[in-house]
Amino acid sequence: MKTSTRRKLILLLGGAILFLLIIEISLRIAGFGQMPLYTASDEWEYMTTPNQSGSRLGNRFYINAYGMRCDEVDSTKRHILGLGDSVLFGGAQTDQDSLATSLITQETGIQMLNISAGSWGPDNCAAYLRHYGLFNAEALFLQVSSHDAHDNISHEPVVDVHPSYPSKQFCCATVEVLIRYVLPRLMPSSQKDPDQKVLSESGIRKDGKPFNPGFAQLKAMCDSAHIPMVVYLHAEQTELSAGKYNDQGDEIIAWCAANNVPVIKDLDLGLTTSDFRDNIHLSAHGQRNMANHLKRYLKQ
């Protein structure tokens, strides 16, 4: 091989390596390669892995020793429980300080524990509390949407099955972007992760599944501990457009009425499209409003 040809190949290879390094560094600065990690569970299916933190696209996330998306449990403070799914969890698209639970903690002095994960239902929450207890909480707020009426635990494997529920980081940020974002657009898969199913099949009825038993299980725990349980029913954009909850939302409202459980219906509290970042998840503005609604209830 001629010296000039070898030099050109070396320059091309060096240029390609430099280009990939620049991409990798840029992606890492943006927070890629720092995904929230998950751990599988025989009891509550999965949860965010305890003791982790990071920042993605400028949004900070922190997971405490109990797998909650909040600061460590402070024994010097009064506690209330915030239970829910990805709406309460916020995802990596929501900064830790913008979460409704964080705002309430900062503004009331009462620590609101954020016990949530993507696509969790009341039965996932109940299984978690059966294991860890109620943390001496004085109240329990359960955030749900209409689809949670029949979205029961299936124990279908999720962790390391879907790219958005990893147990470990990819080898580099570039590989993460390729696998999680580029390839799914080039070669769409029929298999969706739990959160994607909720977004694409919002409002769909889970045929053959009974009313989620977690509602009654959480109520029994609260009754035993002599603390109030409050349901926060979050409407989807399709329900906002219709001006009413769907029939599954009506089931949740009916259960609350039959069991003397107060229900906060954000559809009746001035919910607007600016409160959403997609069909169901809240924007920072929506998290702020949810915090305001919960704080007003706390004052009562």
Please write the tens of the pLDDT for every residue from 6-29: 888 888 888 888 888 888 888 888
Asked whether the beta carbons of 150 and 210 are under 8 A apart, the reply is yes
pLDDT level of residue 197 (50, 70, 90 thresholds): low
Q: Tell me the C-alpha distance between 248 and 147, whole Å.
A: 6
Containing 183, the helix (H) or strand (E) segment is helix 183-186
Q: Tell me, what amino acid is at 211? A: F
pLDDT at residue 41 tops 70? yes
Q: Considering the entire predicted model, what is its pTM? A: 0.89
Of residues 300 and 75, the one with the higher pLDDT is 75
For range 279-288, the mean pLDDT: 96
The answer to whether 166 and 37 are in contact (CB under 8 A) is yes
Q: Specify the residue for token string 């590989």.
A: 175
pLDDT at 60: 95
Mean pLDDT of 210-223: 97
Q: Which of 13-22, 54-63, 244-253 is the least confident region? A: 13-22
How confident is the model over 99-108, as pLDDT tens digits? Answer: 999 999 999 9
Q: Burial code of 243-259, b = ≥16 C-beta within 10 A, e = fewer?
A: eebbebbebbbebbeee
Average pLDDT, the chain: 91
- 87: closest CA among 247, 292, 251, 233? 233
- Has residue 139 got a pLDDT over 60? yes
Find the mean pLDDT for residues 227-239. Answer: 97
Helix (H/G/I), strand (E/B), else coil: 17? helix
Residue 13, CA distances (Å) to 6, 20, 219, 275 in order: 10, 11, 64, 48
Q: Which of 114-118, 143-147, 190-194 comes out lowest in average pLDDT?
A: 190-194
Amino acid 240: pLDDT: 97
pLDDT at 207 over 70: no
